[in-house]
Amino acid sequence: MGRSRYKMLIPGKQPYFLTCAVINWINIFGHVEIAKIILDSLDFLIRKDRLALHGFVIMDNHLHLIASSANLTKEIGLFKSYTARCIVDFFKENHFDGILKQFHFYKKQHKTDQEYQVWEEGSHPEAIIDEKMLNQKLDYIHYNPIRKGYVEDPAHWRYSSFKNYMGEEGLLPIEIIG
């Protein structure tokens, strides 16, 4: 369902739709502290002009982003590496041994230089090529919590850019395309 509130793409600025999933889709973002690690890390990248964030949603075990950057692959890789270290540290400090065991068990065998793996490999970037696709991806992101049955209104999901697109202040500064 398209929304007229989503604006035209800016020529020359290539946004991408990305998905970052927790290894084996383990539910960890129900911990407010873990969601805060994600939000703080994205905010850092935005404020350092390393990433422009155009839309996002954080679900229980994955997040979707619409973002652009001069080197998006590098920035997402650094984001995942940094947040993985912070997430592991949080679970160690708080003795969440069950989750740590899962991070260890599902770690890919070729990752011999680390004890745990938090993120699935890759982020499956998909170029946003036109306004129709932008509308579709933003709707997908913003209505994901409704499809999962978590809320009845996308404005009620805290970890999303929906409020930004409604002209309200959200948790992160969003560069609305248009």
- Domain ranges within the chain, ordered by starting residue: 16-165
Phi-psi region for residue 153, left (φ > 0), alpha (ψ -120 to 50) or beta? beta
What's the pTM value of the predicted model, to 2 decimals?
0.90
What pLDDT does 139 receive?
Answer: 97
- The phi-psi region of residue 50 (left if phi > 0; otherwise alpha if psi is between -120 and 50; otherwise beta) is alpha
Torsion of CA 92, 97, 98, 101, to 10 degrees: 80
pLDDT at res. 13: 66
**Cα Rg, the chain, nearest whole Å:** 16
C-alpha 137/C-alpha 139 separation (Å) is 5
pLDDT for residue 40: 98
Enumerate residue ranges in the chain where pLDDT < 50. Answer: 1-12
CATH code for the domain defined by 16-165: 3.30.70.1290
- Residue 26 is predicted with a pLDDT of 98
Provide the pLDDT for residue 2.
Answer: 39
Pairing of strands 52-58, 126-127: unpaired
